[in-house]
Structure 1
Amino acid sequence: MASCAIAFSVWMRPSGDLDTRLASVIREVSEAFGAPPFAPHVTLLGNAPKGTVEEAKLATEKLAAKLAPFEVKILPDVVFHDTWNQNVLMYVEESPALLEANRQAQQTLLAREDATASFARPSGRPHSSLIYGDHPMEERPKIVSWIQDRAPWLKEGMSFTVGEIQLWAATRLQGESEKLLNELQSQKLEPRFPVDLKAELLQKKQICEAQRGQLFAKQGRSSQYTSVAQRNKAGRFGCSCH
């Protein structure tokens, strides 16, 4: 049966033991309440990029080139909302690094040059989902309790380093209501080291001193001074080392 792409989204995935433990919770609660399983993640930006698969991949590569690894902290409370994709979930701390990554994602993937950080409604907050589905509202508190009873370690909160971003596509079989999530691409984030300003200034000073020395040599005046300090006071030499 044919399928059609619904939307792309960019995810941040935990790794190692945390990924395994969260995947186990998601799998078990999905089986218990008749929901589709999915990989643990925090969505950086949903319904983006736009365009074809190849265009979406290229845009994701451009975004990854602008981001450096950063920490994501999942907060301890398990809560629920009233939509299919924001059913039962855990909020994520809105750290400066995450907010900036979201802003960069909007600029790069949606061409929103004046974008400010924002996340999907109804919560309007970054989050990590634990179950998807159109469960009745009266059932959702029961799902929260079920999860809390079987995974008490979630109350401690958790964090992971975002070392890559992933492009996912939501697809649906024709005639079916259930969405299928498929990973299309993974892009690593490269560390960015701050410029050592002190070393940079020292290098500029050394270059400037060398230029002064060359100028004195040309003028035949360098022997008139017994120290660099005296030489520097002698006049203007066309080089500023402030």
Structure 2
Amino acid sequence: MAETAKLEKADNSEEFFSVWAIPPPDVNRRFKSLMFSLRSEFGGPAFDPHITVVGDLRLPRNEAIAFLHSAAASINPFTARISAVSHGAVFYQCVYLLLDPSPQVKEISSHCCSHFGYKSSTAYMPHLSLIYGDLGEEEKERASKRAEEIDAGIKGLTFEISLLALYRTDTRDKTTESWELVELCDLKK
């Protein structure tokens, strides 16, 4: 009886999750190469290329998986387009590729947020981070320019997203070593 109660409690314990849109394999390899080059010059932890659709979720794992499947069931593959290389003021948006905030891309995030019961305090900014870190403003500017030098055709790159993933992402772990893929959903019907 005590064992069963312990197992139920473990199943209901909350973890931190994010929902990511995963680029197709060929584009993913291109992003990984760019990220590796930038990391060797500017530092920062390694992480998989992704576009955060919903972040900062705290739920039991089984609920998070169920919500992902529920949300993905009514989403078709969608197009993403890189509009710029940019940088931000927070660790997880240090240097990134800004995506066109098309109505379709924004609707995917809104749709998923509603399935997870997530309400953001800021407007959705679709992006794919290249570097996580606490770089100074000049260094971020240099890293942004370097990204454009390494991959001159990155701006304007258009690709189809057909995979959503649930990742365990405790953002208190800035090494990203504890982050893990939990579930994948193919959007191709």
What is the TM-score of this pair, normalised by structure 1? 0.66
> Which amino acid in structure 1 is aligned with residue 150 of structure 2?
R
> Which amino acid in structure 2 is aligned with residue 118 of structure 1?
A
Specify which of 182, 186, 189 is matched with residue 188 of structure 1.
Answer: 186
Taking a change above 3 Å as real, the CA distance of residues 170 and 143 of structure 1, as seen in their structure-2 partners, is same
Q: Deviations over 1:189-225 (max 9, x none)?
A: 144xxxxxxxxxxxxxxxxxxxxxxxxxxxxxxxxxx
How far off is 1:104 after superposition? 0.9
1:79 counterpart residue number: 86
1:195 counterpart residue number: none
- 1:6–1:172 contact (8 Å) kept in structure 2: no
Q: Deviations over 1:160-207 (max 9, x none)?
A: 21212100111479xx7523331111011144xxxxxxxxxxxxxxxx
Taking a change above 3 Å as real, the CA distance of residues 130 and 98 of structure 1, as seen in their structure-2 partners, is same
> Which amino acid in structure 2 is aligned with residue 158 of structure 1?
L
The SS at the match of 2:106 is helix
The SS at the match of 2:65 is helix
How far off is 1:107 after superposition? 1.0
1:165 counterpart residue number: 164
The SS at the match of 2:82 is strand
Distance 1:163 1:25 in 2: 22
Distance 1:97 1:142 in 2: 32
How far off is 1:73 after superposition? 1.3
1:134 aligns with 2:141: no
Aligned length: 175
How far off is 1:147 after superposition? 1.6
The SS at the match of 1:134 is coil
> Which amino acid in structure 2 is aligned with residue 160 of structure 1?
F
How far off is 1:145 after superposition? 2.1
- 1:44–1:126 contact (8 Å) kept in structure 2: yes
Q: Deviations over 1:99-151 (max 9, x none)?
A: 21111111100166xx9x932xxxxx111111111122231111112222222
1:106 counterpart residue number: 113
Distance 1:177 1:43 in 2: 16
- 1:172–1:178 contact (8 Å) kept in structure 2: no
1:59 counterpart residue number: 67
For structure 2, the 5+ residue unaligned runs are 1-13
The SS at the match of 1:10 is strand
- 1:74–1:159 contact (8 Å) kept in structure 2: yes
2:22 counterpart residue number: 13
- 2:87–2:96 contact (8 Å) kept in structure 1: yes
> Which amino acid in structure 1 is aligned with residue 92 of structure 2?
N
Pick 1 or 2: higher relative contact order, CA cutoff 8 A, min separation 6.
2
> Which amino acid in structure 2 is aligned with residue 54 of structure 1?
N
- 2:18–2:56 contact (8 Å) kept in structure 1: yes
Specify which of 175, 178, 181 is matched with residue 175 of structure 2.
Answer: 178
For structure 1, the 5+ residue unaligned runs are 120-124, 192-242
Larger Rg: 1
- 1:40–1:128 contact (8 Å) kept in structure 2: yes
The SS at the match of 1:161 is strand
2:11 counterpart residue number: none
Identity in percent: 25
Taking a change above 3 Å as real, the CA distance of residues 98 and 138 of structure 1, as seen in their structure-2 partners, is same
